[in-house]
């Protein structure tokens, strides 16, 4: 083993790589991971938009509650063409988001109690009581 081998390993782990070949591989690995994440975001966006559109068309009132969106947003999503859905889905920003930040809801959804039905119903009631998304800008 060459002397000084350990510091080079530590540098590589810390992201301080002086060897151009190793640096290229490291950068390539990060790029590949980023590309995979972006592809997964786009696939998730497409699936979410298609599901949202289907829910809205099948039962609008239920869709508004399940998706947590306003009538205006539902109108927009319902009217999107396939080309528009593909364009919106190709964004690198995730279209769906967590609807609740409440620890109580998370605890109800993740609890391992015997009364899972009751917990699920309680969580659904709490989530349904939260305000829906609107197209109007929020004042702060």
Residues in Cβ contact with 59 at an 8 Å cutoff, skipping those fewer than 6 apart:
none
**DSSP H or E stretch at residue 24:** helix 20-58
pLDDT value of position 77: 97
Q: How far apart are the first and last CA of the chain?
A: 62
Instruction: Measure the CA–CA gap between 130 and 140, rounded to whole angstroms.
Output: 18
Of residues 66, 42, 38, the one with CA closest to residue 52: 66
129: which 2 tokens?
Answer: 């009581």
The pTM (predicted TM-score) of the whole model is: 0.59
The strand pairing partners of 69, in sequence order, are 133
Mean pLDDT by 10 residues, the chain (140 residues): 51 52 64 88 97 98 91 96 96 84 70 58 56 48
pLDDT value of position 30: 75
What number of helices (H) and strands (E) belong to the chain? 7, 0
Instruction: Measure the CA–CA gap between 7 and 19, rounded to whole angstroms.
Output: 13
Instruction: Measure the CA–CA gap between 80 and 9, rounded to whole angstroms.
Output: 52
Question: What are the extents of the domains in the chain?
Answer: 20-97, 100-140
pLDDT value of position 24: 63
Enter the DSSP assignment of 129. Answer: T
Q: Right CATH number for 20-97 from 3.40.50.10440, 1.10.4000.10, 1.10.3470.10, 1.10.620.20?
A: 1.10.4000.10
> What sign for the dihedral angle of Cα 121, 97, 66, 54?
negative
């Amino acid at each position: 083993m060459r002397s000084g081998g350990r510091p080079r390993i530590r540098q590589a782990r810390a992201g301080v790589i002086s060897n151009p070949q190793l640096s290229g591989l490291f950068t390539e690995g990060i790029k590949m991971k980023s590309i995979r994440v972006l592809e997964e975001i786009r696939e998730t966006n497409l699936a979410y938009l298609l599901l949202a559109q289907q829910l809205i068309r099948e039962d609008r009132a239920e869709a508004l509650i399940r998706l947590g969106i306003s009538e205006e947003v539902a109108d927009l999503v319902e009217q999107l063409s396939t080309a528009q859905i593909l364009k919106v889905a190709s964004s690198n920003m995730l279209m769906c988001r967590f609807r609740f930040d409440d620890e109580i809801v998370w605890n109800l959804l993740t609890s391992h109690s015997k009364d899972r039905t009751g917990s699920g119903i309680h969580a659904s009631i709490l989530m349904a009581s939260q305000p829906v998304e609107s197209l109007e800008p929020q004042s702060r």
